[in-house]
Amino acid sequence: MTDEEIIEGCIKKNALAQKALYDKFAKKMMGVCLRYCDSQEEGEDVLQNGFIHVFNKIDSFRATGSLEGWIRKIIVNTALTSLRKAKKLDANVEIDSVESMTEDPNRLGETFAVKELLKIIQSLPTGFRTVFNLHAIEGYSHKEIGDMLGITEGTSKSQYSRAKAYLQKIIPQY
């Protein structure tokens, strides 16, 4: 099935088309979910809720960008909604134990497997992890992140900076 056929089928609530869409994108979107969530189970919940939103909104897809990008945006927003509901984004996290690294801050050490990097990112406090994912991985500006999370642009920059410092401190331990 082509993307166009899958979309048409999903608009018509065709279960085979919905399964085809899910099968095509679920694995990649689970990776997105795990970057925002504390556990596999939480990630699976976000993924399921995200695809429910995808199926409910599929008729609004206008094909001005990629289908994958459109789904990714819904999944990210679903993850952020989940974090807000759990009140994990309410506090501006301060980590006093994060110290400036004396090594080159651009050198993070050896190459890591994807699972190891995911584990390291998941170890970040929720606020750090969310801002880091949105900025470094999803490519949102600090202004956009501030608007999405209801924080100031400066808070977003600060959380991102602290996340990088935390990662620079923890990566050598792996």
pTM: 0.73
- Per-residue burial over 120-131, b if 16 or more Cβ lie within 10 Å, else e, is bbbebbbbbbbb
Q: What is the pLDDT of residue 88?
A: 63
**Is it the case that residue 7 has pLDDT exceeding 60?**
yes
Q: At a CB cut-off of 8 Å and minimum separation 6, what does 22 contact?
A: 51
| CATH of segment(s) 114-173 | 1.10.10.10
Q: Which CATH class is domain 3-85?
A: mainly alpha
| Rounded-to-integer distance, Cα 54 and Cα 60, Å | 10
Q: What is the pLDDT of residue 13?
A: 96
| Rounded-to-integer distance, Cα 154 and Cα 75, Å | 25
**Is it the case that residue 108 has pLDDT exceeding 50?**
no
Pick from 33, 32, 1, 27: nearest CA to 15: 1
Tell me how far apart the 2 most distant CA atoms of the chain are, in Å.
Answer: 58
pLDDT digits (tens, 9 = 90+) for 49-65: 999 999 999 999 998 88
Six-digit token pair at 38?
Answer: 């504390």
Six-digit token pair at 77?
Answer: 């927003």
* Residue predicted with more confidence, 21 or 92: 21
Residues of the chain with CATH 1.10.1740.10: 3-85
* Positions of E strands within the chain: none
Six-digit token pair at 41?
Answer: 């189970």
Q: What is the pLDDT of residue 173?
A: 77
Residues of the chain with CATH 1.10.10.10: 114-173
Six-digit token pair at 13?
Answer: 């609530």
pLDDT digits (tens, 9 = 90+) for 114-158: 678 888 888 888 889 999 999 998 899 999 999 999 899 999 999
Percent of the chain with pLDDT over 90: 60
Please say whether the beta carbons of 171 and 106 come within 8 A. Answer: no
